[in-house]
Structure 1
Amino acid sequence: MSDILRRISLVLVTLLWSAASLPAAAEQITVFAAASLKEAIDEISSDFTRATGIDVAASYAGSSALARQIGFGAPADVFISASTDWMNHLEENNWIQPATRFDLVGNRLVLIGPSSDAAAFDIAADTDLIAMLAGGRLAMALTDAVPAGIYGKAALQALDLWDDVAPMVAQTDNVRAALSLVSLGAAPLGIVYATDALADDKVSVRAIFPSHAHPPIIYPVALTKRATSPQAEAFLDYLNGDAADKVFRELGFLLEAD
């Protein structure tokens, strides 16, 4: 063997040995989830990683923004929406795997104010929200795009309150931003999910909207079209198991059995 071939062989052997000695790349899946799920998915993801060694990278935003990102090719493996409409949109455009889709949890819609001892009341058509706002704004997620805002607008319309209060609405990119406006004192009232109110001790529930006043609040989940790894399937199975159910229930989400 010539010196040149011998040197090339030595280099190849060294490279192969170095590659074999490197630690294996960590397995990871990417989850896109509605902003209202942050605490639940953070906790469930941590439990899943401890149990399996598979890392979960979660990204939270309004369901509409996440659905659009997936449509543009964002590298999500799992999508959890706060709206069946946005999941339907992805399914109709062949961006999810329909056979993997199921309804994960439900939620309630509430009116919140700053944390206080004020008693909750029954919201109805004769509720004077304008007086309660006292010149301030009603914080809501985008009423034509983000599920929490769409549900909130539908509820106010059903109670004949929307026309009066619409000029006073401060719209935000997602439901957690609406929660923050009330929590920080920038808005006297807001409409969020019941689970959002539980996640922030600086706000309190002033009223629960009747469930018949808005479409059912359902969170569907599915694998995206790009998800082909068994790790993503394993996370989806974990979401559908008892351990995840326990977390969801503790954080105030509604399960089918509730």
Structure 2
Amino acid sequence: MNGRIIHRAGFVVGAFARVLLIGLVWASLVVPSEASAENRDVIVFAAASLKNALDDAAAAWMRDSGRRAVVSYAASNALAKQIEAGAPADIFFSADLDWMDYAASKGLIRPESRVSLLGNSLVLIAPKDSAVQVELKPGLDLAAALGSNRLAMGHVNAVPAGKYGKAALEHLGAWAGVRDKVAQTENVRAALLLVSRGEAPLGIVYKTDAVSDANVTIVGTFPEGSHPAIVYPAALTKDATNPDAAQFLAFLRSDKAKPFFEKQGFTLLNKAGS
């Protein structure tokens, strides 16, 4: 009888211990959530063309604040879709207004935090030793310059640089001649790489991309009026929980970050709400 009582008592104590242990485990996961949110990295989803400048800016912010921003780079369309699918991000930094507008229409960003931060220009590039000469003006015959080769550019219906490039070629009357010769890439840096490696004789990228790669040369700059203005908006995401995210976005708008963007050829706009 005593043995049975001891056995049952042991069962009760063991069950109580397990319940207590489970409670402690949940407490360890739930209770410190606010503290962990304060200490974790700021997650930034940013257009691929921002890589050099944004890496430098993030490193400077870490030196100044002791906090870290981790940046995931891809085409703006891909990033917007990932955020829509639930990917965790604190900041979305797009290479065009359309994909930020898309994110806003889906309720994925905090509208009051949105700022049009940067401007850029669109250029035609070739491998650094290329002797090709092209004048970017109405009547442009880019097909003749390409011959049987392909023109590298971002996907013309999704990637911002590809959309700008198609618009510019249409404006100059060159799109019909090259539309079947385009090597469309998943982002602008992939188009840059094709030209840098000599796998494509010409490509359309941002000026900032061309500046970042010593293996390419700028053949010409597309006239501003040939395509929509290139604007890079940034905003906090709706689900951002890291209080440092707003601080990093403010840093990107500050004079401290300005040299990193200007070094790569960006222009600073810093217009809130657009």
What is the TM-score of this pair, normalised by structure 1?
0.88
Conserved? CA contact 1:101–1:221, under 8 Å: yes
- Residue 35 of structure 1, aligned match among 28, 33, 48: 48
Pair 1:126-2:129 in alignment: no
Distance 1:119 1:47 in 2: 39
Q: Which runs of 5+ in 2 are unaligned?
A: 1-12, 29-34
C-alpha separation between the residues in 2 aligned to 1:256 and 1:117?
34
CA deviations 1:30-56 (Å, max 9, x no partner) are: 000000000011110011111111111
Partner of 1:115 in structure 2? 128
Q: What SS does structure 2 have at the residue aligned with 1:113?
A: strand
User: Structure 1 CA distance, aligned partners of 2:123 and 2:142?
Assistant: 14
Identical aligned residues as a percent: 50
- Give the structure 1 partner of residue 155 of structure 2: 142
Q: CA deviation at 1:124?
A: 1.6
- Equivalence map 1:75-224=2 (5 Å): 75-116=88-129, 118=131, 121-224=134-237
Check if 1:73 corresponds to 2:86: yes
How far is the alpha carbon of 1:118 from its aligned partner?
4.4
Could you tell me how far 1:230 is from its partner in structure 2?
A: 1.9
Q: Considering only CA atoms, is the larger Rg found in Structure 1 or Structure 2?
A: 2
Once residues 150 and 92 of structure 1 are traced to their aligned partners in structure 2, the CA distance between those partners, rounded to angstroms, is 20
Counterpart of 1:242?
255
The secondary structure found in structure 1 opposite 2:53 is helix
* Cα distance per residue 1:180-205 (max 9 Å; x no partner): 00001110000000000000000000
Q: Which residue of 2 aligns with 1:45?
A: 58
User: How far off is 1:158 after superposition?
Assistant: 0.4
Retained in 1: the 8 A contact 2:141–2:177? no
Q: Could you list the runs of 5+ residues in structure 1 that have no partner in the other structure? A: none
**AA matched with 1:160:** G
User: Structure 1: which 4+ aligned runs deviate by more than 6 Å?
Assistant: none
Report the RMSD for the aligned CA atoms in angstroms: 2.4
How far is the alpha carbon of 1:120 from its aligned partner?
A: 6.2
**Alignment counterpart, residue 64 of structure 1, candidates 54, 73, 77:** 77
Report the TM-score when normalising by structure 2. Answer: 0.83
Letter in 2 for 1:234: Q
SS of structure 1 residue aligned to 2:89 = coil
C-alpha separation in 1, matches of 2:174 and 2:267: 27
Can you list the C-alpha shifts for 1:114-168, whole angstroms capped at 9, x where unaligned? 1037486531233321221121100010000000000000000001100011010
Superposed CA offset, 1:28-87 (max 9, x none):
110000000000111100111111111111000000000000011110000000010000
